[in-house]
Amino acid sequence: MALLVQKFGGTSVGSPERIEAVAAKIKQYRDNGDDVVVVVSAMSGETDRLIGLARALSEAPPPREMDVLLSTGEQVTIALLSMALQKRGCPAKSYTGSQVHILTDNAHCKARIQGIDGSRIQQDLKEGKVVVVAGFQGVDEQGNITTLGRGGSDTTAVALAAALKADECQIFTDVDGVYTTDPRVVPHARRLERITFEEMLEMASLGSKVLQIRSVEFAGKYNVPLRVLSSFQEGPGTLITYEDETMENALISGIAFNRDEAKITVLGVPDQPGVAHKLLGPVAAANIEVDMIVQNMAPDGATTDFTFTVHRNDYERALEVVRRTAGEMGAREVAGDDKIVKLSLVGVGMRSHAGIASTMFETLANEGINIRMISTSEIKISVVVDEKYLELGVRALHDAFQLEAPAAG
Ligand code: ADP
Ligand code: ASP
Ligand code: MG
């Protein structure tokens, strides 16, 4: 008998029929003698629909009210799933985030979980109930409803698993595990049996939205056994674990990509100490996160070019801020491009192997794909390329590093 925290994403609970199927699955675990705490997302498309309603009313909806609105999506699902479980003779009880004291800071729309009081849940489990908790939401010290950022139900599940010391946190979704890359882009991508926290964190940070970044951080920090599985078919899924000697360290575990990128270049900036600070200070002050940064050599010894990337949603705002500063600094020109994407290779095996970057660059060159920016760390290499090359680039790299599933038979 185990204590399991099971999370079902939006597609998995996207219709009454699917909710019935989820209830049937949970009941199987119960019948096996496991204790189950369930975390659910809003039904698929619901969070987007709610955001659309808010935008129809206001260009910049107040974040506090946004959270009141968005949290309703998950509240619908917990009630429906509990009904479906009870119908099957499986005692179940639903709770919103605040009812089980998922305490967060007050950063509306991107709140962080600070603590969970598991006593109410533990009492219900003792009484033989399945506890169904709304994902993605919490409450701050003042009693305001908060939400945890897109994909936040993953983090609710991991945080509950940590608080309750669950035996495993199981993330049920519409794919049967973590793949070498998004199977929607490379249909013959391969499911990974295991991936390290470190690699999964990079994959998530670099754009693989199969798990929210914070859920991976949390699981790594509190040593929560985490598994990604399919809601629709049986199988072992993918276990996210610490690195150990027995793992054959694949050179490359996966390829991540991010479509939400934009870049800004300032040309002909006077090359003096403090340029980066002068240009990026006001960007940071406007609460815009900067990712990659490249400052060129100054061939004429007098002026230099400076390029950086931001989230595509922040592009217009960042451009405005930079134009102002660049004008004051006497830069020649500001140019921008929001039709770029980032492709990244991730793998702990990279630490001990040279030559991966050159294979990557050669592969892209052979496809006629121009690399706009490069950034590397111990276990990843990222390049920025034009948006139109995303699929071609990912597939070419997947082939070049032989990440595909072996042919059947
Ligand atoms: P849920 O609604 O269950 O939270 P998400 O849409 O957030 O599901 O995450 C699952 C999706 O993540 C998959 O449908 C897949 O397209 C995408 N994905 C991106 N990268 C990967 C990857 N490396 N492995 C598996 N799925 C991935
Ligand atoms: N419903 C929220 C979203 O769509 C949270 C989640 O699904 O994890 O982002
Ligand atoms: Mg998700």
The residue to mutate among 8, 41, 46, 48, having the most atoms of ligand 2 within 8 angstroms of its beta carbon, is 41
| Same fold? 3-174, 256-400 | no
Average pLDDT, integer, range 311-320: 96
Predicted confidence at residue 291, as pLDDT, reads 94
Give the atom of ligand 1 at the shortest distance from the alpha carbon of 11: 2
Domain 3-174 has CATH 3.40.1160.10: yes
DSSP 243-301: --TTS---S--EEEEEEEEEEEEEEEEE--TTHHHHHHHHHHHTT--EEEEEE---TTS
Rg (CA), the chain: 23
| Distance from residue 175's CA to the centre of ligand 3 (Å) | 11
Ligand 1 center from residue 211 Cα (angstroms): 7
State the average pLDDT over residues 176-184. 97
Of all helices (H) and strands (E), which one includes residue 381?
strand 380-386
Residue type, 283: V
DSSP string, 75-129: HHHHHHHHHHHHHTT--EEEE-TGGGTEEE-S-TTS--EEEE--HHHHHHHHTTP
Quote the pTM value: 0.94
User: What's the rounded mean pLDDT across residues 34-44?
Assistant: 98
Helix (H) or strand (E) holding 305: strand 303-311
Q: What is the mean pLDDT of the segment spanning 81-97?
A: 98
pLDDT tens per residue, range 104-119: 999 999 999 999 999 9
Q: Which ligand is nearest to the CA of 256?
A: 1
Unique residue bearing structure tokens 């099971």 = 6
Q: What percent of the chain has pLDDT over 90?
A: 89
User: What is the pLDDT at residue 243?
Assistant: 78
Compute the mean pLDDT over every residue in the chain, rounded to the nearest whole number.
95
Decide which of 60 and 20 is more confident: 20
Q: Which CATH code for domain 256-400?
A: 3.30.2130.10
Distance 238 CA to ligand 1 centre (A): 13
Q: Which of 22, 18, 19, 11 shows the shortest CA–CA distance to 46?
A: 11
Cα angle, residue 81 at apex, residues 76 and 82 outer, rounded to 5°: 100
CA-closest residue to ligand 1 atom 15: 182
% of the chain with per-residue pLDDT over 70: 98
Is the per-residue pLDDT at 299 higher than 80?
no
Gap between the Cα atoms of 349 and 121, Å rounded: 41
Please tell me the distance from the alpha carbon of residue 197 to that of residue 223, in angstroms, as a whole number: 10
213-264: per-residue pLDDT in tens? 999 999 999 999 999 999 999 999 999 998 776 666 678 999 999 999 999 9
**Rounded-to-integer distance, Cα 290 and Cα 264, Å:** 10
Q: In this predicted model, which residue has the larger pLDDT, 304 or 409?
A: 304
Q: Mutation test of ligand 2: which of 11, 153, 216, 231 has the most ligand atoms closer than 8 Å to its C-beta?
A: 153
Sign of CA dihedral 106, 309, 217, 282: negative
The model's pLDDT over 41-88, given as tens digits with 9 standing for 90+, comes to 999 999 999 999 999 999 899 999 999 999 999 999 999 999 999 999
What CA–CA distance (Å, rounded) separates 81 from 131? 10
Give the pLDDT band of residue 405 (cuts 50, 70, 90).
confident
**Cα distance between residue 215 and residue 197, in whole Å:** 10
pLDDT for 247: 62
Ligand 1 centroid to Cα of residue 175, in Å, is 7
**Cβ neighbour number for residue 147 with a 10 Å cutoff:** 27
Q: Which atom of ligand 2 is nearest to the CA of 10?
A: 7
Query: Domains of the chain: which residue ranges?
Result: 3-174, 256-400
pLDDT in tens, 1-14: 899 999 999 999 99
Tell me the two tokens of residue 94: 């639903």
